[in-house]
Structure 1
Amino acid sequence: MTFKNQIILIILILGLPIVSNAQVITFKKYYSTDRRDYGHSIKQTEDNGFIIGGCLDNLITLIKTDSLGNVEWKNSIDTCTIYSNIKVYIPTTDEFLILAEDIQLIKTDRLGNVIWNYTLIDSVNDEGLGIYELIIDKNGKYVMVGTSRSDYYDHNMGVLKVNINGEIEWYKEYGQDTILVGAGIAIDNNNNYVLLGNTLRVLESGTGFQPGDVYFLKVDSFGNQLSQSYLANERRTSAIDIINNGSDNFSILYRSYPDPPEPNSYYHISEITPSGIEGKIFTFNNTLRYPRTISETSDGGFIVGGFVTKLNQFGTIEWETNTVSWEVIQTNDDGYAIIGNRCVQDCDGNWEIYGGPEPDYDVFFLKLDEYGFLYQEINNLKIQPNPFTKTGMITFPNLNNEVHNIRIYDTYGRLARNYEDINDGKQPIYKGELRVGMYILELSNDEQRQYLKFIIN
């Protein structure tokens, strides 16, 4: 049982209601057109609303919502594909910045009207350059990291700096003596840029690559190299993301592959000093599922995107969801905003190989509280009669026939009964071997959990 569930059980046993903090708003919203829609990025705006970036109906799209996820405006800007990754940033309170495929950089005003739209790949004359991440430095400049590919075996880390008008100040490549790809970028307290990359090793067959070492490079604001180091070089590793944790140290998220291979890989969060020395490491044996991003939370812990996972400052998992995200951020009320996609039709995933109808996706926006809960229809979970002696009936609203699981815990937090794959909104419960006393019922699906106390007499 997770730490979060233990806390909830204690609250229930003490007789306190399970209600959301009045300051934390939770909701679930969907945005869609008639075609495939993908939500990739989300940021909170100054008015406590949100700006969402994605590819909707094959168009780069910004969606501005209020604090409840209701659409205030939507603006489609340029074309995109299902393989695009549309990231949105807020350089000032009056502007939005969009990073799209082929290092396309777009600036809009606060209503999503385009100020300028540049395809920077033409300016650096590097048709093989792909940009993965962007930061806004202390002088308001835009610095991007990615990978330059001049041929199949020639990969260098590429870094591009652009001013507020979209004009390139400099472009540099690093790692010419190895095969190096860019993965992330952060900034230190002196406005130096800290680059996260990964070396690649050519397979013995001569075709294809496997991960090598995590690479950590610091450059000044002109791109001059200050220091470099390789991390975890005793095993194959893949760098995922890097953040400044506020003390001029950095936290990086990476994956390692045991050698010889094992069924499971390992994920690590490692603290890096300003000089590139690896400090404390938290290791997870395949428990972080498909992580994409990492950010520090207000309590000193971490929130990891992918299958969203909340960790405390000691690397212990506090709670996790089955929701797959493109990005997750902590909000001003200490809740969490999650953006991603859900498949709504033709979801078998084989259309590119076998033909047939293409899958249809919607953008979802999930707002959770600080404990990872979505408070929605929580009062409609019932067990009747309560108390009961031999048989009770659990009922809950389920208009969309979503699959739910039910777990029954005793007052010590021990699992006493488990019912899975319930989609008709009801489940009988029989006393059987259960002893007389109080129990906690947990109803869960992919996006939320609800709790209820009941008594067997």
Structure 2
Amino acid sequence: MVGKSLTPMYDPMMAVPRVFSAMRKGRIHSKGLRISRMAEISVILLLTIALAFAQVSPIHTVAAAKPQPPSSTSATWAKAYNIPYSYSLAESVAQTSSGGYVVGASCTAAAVTTPNCNTLSEPTAMVMRVDSSGNIQSQTQYNYLKYPYSTPLNLIRPTSDGGAIFAGNAQFGCPGTGQTSCGLIVKVDLSGNVQWSNDLQFSTSSSYGPLTWPLDLHQTTDGGYVVAGYAFAPAASYNPFVAKLSSVGQIQWQHVFVDPNSQYGAAYAVEQTPDGGYVVLGESTYYVSASYTASEILVFKLDPTGTLAWQHDYSIGTDSYAETLALTSDGGFILGGLVSISSANSYSSSVLLLKLDSTGNPQFAKTYAPSGSISDLAITGVQQTSDGGYAFSGYYFQNTVYDERAWLVKTDSAGKVQWDRTYGADVQYSSRKFYSFQQTSDGGFIAAGSTNQFNGGDNSLWLVKTDSNGNIAGCNDFQTQSDVSGSVSVTVSISDLKATPDSFTYVADTLSSVPGPLKTSKEC
């Protein structure tokens, strides 16, 4: 829990620890605001929906599959989806049992046109399904009836009944309560009809409203759900929370986890483990002095009733930030995040892969950074691949060419880079980002994000399907990159979390749905 940092302190009442949205991808966290140079486009796209309804192959399993070699053949392509004068953005993608893909997205109108994403010029949530070649099969937009500008669906997961469960945070007010920054959880059936929908907030609130944000959720083996995020509770401070819901959304248990030495923190990812418990990834931020803070990665394990089994802080570099978590086939975990290292004359950031065993002991810690002059580095997903290695997605800003590049990297089981690709032409002021990816059944990869090269400079929803080596056949719009990689030391300490029972309040809400307007622009 001891850190050393040159990170300026900021007022926690002025910003949440991090925002799980397009803005979050520009790195909003407890050390302040760090957004990309293309943020004027991406910042307004605050929504995320991620998977979809029908025929979804579960991507969240309790036990990670035993590594298998990839198949020898793989269909590849890249496509953008847009309408004129609108911004669209894909933040989640998953392969379906039919071999197609479901995409969680948002769409925002820049002008009043027909067709349109949303005439109020605010983001609307969207689910799109495409076939194995990227052709649109269906697309649906979701809005609140009373507050269409406040649709807060930031993530969605498939459920075993063929439906889906959504979670998120209202950006501009809570339709059910009229207060600001409440959380939302919605269950839909196979056809996308809402089965139940509730705002949630904790009993503690402030003049800023009931600041509650679910950042991750998954269906559990009993048919219920586990939810993790942060809450402005208790005592008007940000803390991680985890809650277990029944299959119909009833709360079975809930805890806020408070570290008395941490100034603020949050839980960013949760997974159910083979023993029926849960592993949670988060961050804790500590004051080093009256003017500076340090951030550390937090991982804690819960038993099936939510009782703490173990907890660790991981101090790496000057600051280390949690992003994403996946189970591995050996019963352990692979964590993705960022590490920042500062000296008297420099400040640099690298992607971090941290491999842990089943009790949280580090097995390796590797860093990765693109070569050359770069900034605004982000990792947006990590997973173990079918051959026992790892892959991660992200993006960065290239300071020489002055463009944003979507990034996909594959490593072996020890974290050594096997290949490293960026996607999209290196054109000044272009912006391409990957916000989500998944290995597909043929051993290739599907990645989802945004590009501004096919819609008059406005962002378009973007899907890229590669083979197992990250290639797109017949397409020159990707590049092999070299990176700077290395190992870093990890200081592990036992954190001081204590579970503090707290209670949600639920208020029912209603969503409307309409067909989506996106059209396909084939790239490769």
User: Normalising by structure 1, what TM-score?
Assistant: 0.69
Letter in 1 for 2:188: T
Equivalent residue number for residue 196 of structure 2? 116
Q: How does 1:275-286 map to 2 (within 5 A)?
A: 275-285=359-369
Equivalent residue number for residue 195 of structure 1? 280
Shift of 1:151: 8.8
Shift of 1:122: 7.4
1:147 is the counterpart of 2:230: yes
Equivalent residue number for residue 391 of structure 2? 303
Deviations 1:310-369 (A, max 9, x none): 11212122222324211010011111111101125899xxxxxxxxxxx73210111111
Change (3 A) 1:112 1:236: same
Letter in 1 for 2:219: I
Equivalent residue number for residue 44 of structure 1? 95
Separation of aligned partners in 2, 1:338 and 1:219:
31
Equivalent residue number for residue 186 of structure 1? 271
Is the contact made by 1:250 and 1:274 (CA closer than 8 Å) also made in structure 2?
A: yes
Shift of 1:115: 2.8
Is the contact made by 2:319 and 2:339 (CA closer than 8 Å) also made in structure 1?
A: yes
Separation of aligned partners in 2, 1:67 and 1:227:
42
Instruction: Please give the secondary structure, in 2, of the residue aligned with 1:264.
Output: strand
Instruction: Please give the secondary structure, in 1, of the residue aligned with 2:347.
Output: coil
Letter in 1 for 2:191: L
Change (3 A) 1:143 1:360: same
How many residues of Structure 1 are paired with residues of Structure 2 in the alignment?
Answer: 353
Q: Report which of the two structures shows the higher radius of gyration computed on alpha carbons.
A: 1
Separation of aligned partners in 2, 1:185 and 1:250:
11
2:129 to 64, 70, 91: 64
Is the contact made by 2:332 and 2:359 (CA closer than 8 Å) also made in structure 1?
A: no
User: Normalising by structure 2, what TM-score?
Assistant: 0.61
Q: How does 1:13-412 map to 2 (within 5 A)?
A: 23-34=73-84, 35-56=86-107, 57=117, 58-78=123-143, 86-92=154-160, 94-102=162-170, 103-121=183-201, 127-150=210-233, 154-177=237-260, 178=262, 179-202=264-287, 204=289, 206=291, 210-232=293-315, 235-260=318-343, 262-285=346-369, 289-306=377-394, 307-323=407-423, 324-344=433-453, 360-376=458-474
Change (3 A) 1:205 1:232: closer
Letter in 2 for 1:96: A
Change (3 A) 1:276 1:373: same
Equivalent residue number for residue 420 of structure 1? none
Instruction: Please give the secondary structure, in 2, of the residue aligned with 1:292.
Output: strand
Letter in 2 for 1:333: D
Is the contact made by 1:265 and 1:286 (CA closer than 8 Å) also made in structure 2?
A: no
What are structure 2's unaligned runs of at least 5 residues? 1-70, 108-116, 118-122, 171-182, 395-406, 424-432, 482-522
Separation of aligned partners in 1, 2:204 and 2:443:
41
Letter in 2 for 1:340: G
Shift of 1:303: 1.4
Letter in 1 for 2:129: K
Shift of 1:157: 0.5
Instruction: Please give the secondary structure, in 1, of the residue aligned with 2:99.
Output: coil
Shift of 1:158: 1.1
Separation of aligned partners in 1, 2:333 and 2:135:
36
Letter in 2 for 1:40: E
Deviations 1:233-264 (A, max 9, x none): 67421112221102211111232222546332
Shift of 1:93: 5.3
Separation of aligned partners in 2, 1:106 and 1:28:
31
Change (3 A) 1:25 1:127: same
Backbone CA RMSD of aligned residues: 3.3
What are structure 1's unaligned runs of at least 5 residues? 1-20, 348-358, 379-401, 408-446, 449-457
Shift of 1:100: 2.9
Deviations 1:167-187 (A, max 9, x none): 222221002412322122122
Separation of aligned partners in 1, 2:80 and 2:239:
39
Letter in 1 for 2:164: F
Instruction: Please give the secondary structure, in 2, of the residue aligned with 1:305.
Output: strand
Is the contact made by 2:294 and 2:318 (CA closer than 8 Å) also made in structure 1?
A: no
